[in-house]
Amino acid sequence: MKKLHGRGLILGLALAALLSSAALAATEQEVLNLIGQLPFSTADKAFLSTSYKKGMDEGRLAPDLAMDLLQKVGVQSNAPVDQRRDVLMTIGQALLEELPVDMLISKAEEGVAKGVPMSGILQEIQERKATLEQVKALFEQRGVHSNLTDRSSPYSQASIDAAITDVAGSLEDYVRGGNNPNDAPAVKAAVLNTLKLDGRLPTALVSAIDEHFSEIDLGTIAQAIATRIKNS
């Protein structure tokens, strides 16, 4: 009789867990199914599937956000197919490089909403991706890691990703706002102002960035942004 009690309990809980996991898997699968329907080559769709799945599995890309992006850029847009593909693949490449992509997706959707030509959207997100790469490299060089990379770190991957996004975004805003990229103290002040106002970031993380990132570190990236914009 005791065995019957135990088996009934285990069966009930296993059934509940199976139903729940099935619901979660369906959303990611919907994203992959939609990628499969896009008017791109087999190789391009395979790349998108691999990169977007990696992003979803690592928590950098929410399935509902992926669906929204794929619908707006891949399905509903009347822009040339190769430009739509390039926008989606730029974001896919960023996911493969383990970059936070919220800023790139937001800029792509903003561009679609405002009727910006897809070529302009592509240029915008390629420039911002380059900034994200430089900022991520700076985090690694200065030893500001997540607890996935460094078990002794108190910072979650989500916090580090938010910090990388804020640093890159504030540098872009500073330079695109017509401010002087050679004024390194002003560059760092602008970055810290954003970090302190963003409620997602732990205070200790903001302090660590202030301590480890020099004015020259951030000024160098600001100058690179200015160069990219000038050459575009």
Partner 1 sequence: MPELNDQELEDELRTGLNRCVQSQASRLVGLEERVLAELRSRHRPQRLSAPRPAFGLSRRLALATVALALVIFAGGLFAGMQVERLQSGLANKGTGVQFVIAYPEAQSVAVAGDFTNWDKRPLERGPDGVWRLWVQLPPGRYEYAFIVNGSRWLPDPRASQFVRSYGNDLNSVIYVGKGGETS
Q: What's the token pair of residue 192?
A: 């810290």
d(CA 116, CA 119) in angstroms, rounded, equals 8
Q: In whole angstroms, how close is the CB of 12 to partner 1 at the nearest point? A: 4
Q: In terms of CB distance, is 94 or 105 closer to partner 1?
A: 105
Interacting positions 62-121 with partner 1 (CB under 8 A): 64-65, 68, 106-107, 109-114, 116, 120
d(CA 219, CA 194) in angstroms, rounded, equals 16
Q: Of the listed pieces 87-95, 137-145, 192-200, 212-220, which binds partner 1 according to CB under 8 A?
A: 192-200
Tell me the three state secondary structure of residue 98.
coil
Q: In terms of CB distance, is 44 or 218 closer to partner 1?
A: 218
For partner 1 (CB under 8 A), the number of binding residues is: 41
Q: In terms of CB distance, is 45 or 107 closer to partner 1?
A: 107
d(CA 209, CA 222) in angstroms, rounded, equals 16
To the nearest 5 percent, what fractions of the chain are helix, strand and coil? 75, 0, 25
On whether the CB atoms of residues 218 and 185 are closer than 8 A, the answer is no
Binding site for partner 1 (CB under 8 A): 1, 4-5, 8-9, 11-13, 15-17, 19-20, 23-24, 64-65, 68, 106-107, 109-114, 116, 120, 124, 162, 166, 169, 173, 176-178, 194, 197-200
